[in-house]
Amino acid sequence: MTIQEAQEKIDGWIKTVGVRYFSELTNMAILTEEVGEVARIMSRKYGEQSFKESDKQKDLADELADVLWVLLCIANQTGVDMTAALEKNFEKKNIRDASRHKDNEKLQ
């Protein structure tokens, strides 16, 4: 599935099953919640925190998909074409960071 297809599929789901989009501010709060759930898994799986019993069944892939879902909802409701935005972002990074990381002694 392309990013554009994902945006369209989410839009269709929201307008049928989901009834309507939550407000942009509500979706921003939901995005923050979802990123927090990813952070919780990361800190337990890759960091020093131990898992609580209630966290052991959490799935990183599912939580990352939740983040992408809400991000694409926000893009849809604010008129952002994420394919074009990501392509533009690659261009920016290729210019700005052309040698930055190669020259970073910390990454050697």
50, burial (CB in 10 Å: exposed 0-12, middle 13-18, buried 19+): exposed
Contact indicator for 80, 24 with CB cutoff of 8 Å: no
Residues 30, 22: Cα–Cα separation, whole Å: 10
With a pLDDT cut of 70, the percent of the chain lying above it is 100
Q: Which residue has the higher pLDDT, 54 or 37?
A: 37
Lookup: tokens for 3:
């990013």
Question: Please, are residues 106 and 100 in contact by the beta-carbon 8 Å criterion?
Answer: no
Is pLDDT above 90 for 97? no
Single pTM value for the model:
0.89
What pLDDT, on the 0 to 100 scale, is given for residue 98?
84
Distance of alpha carbon 36 from alpha carbon 39, whole angstroms? 5
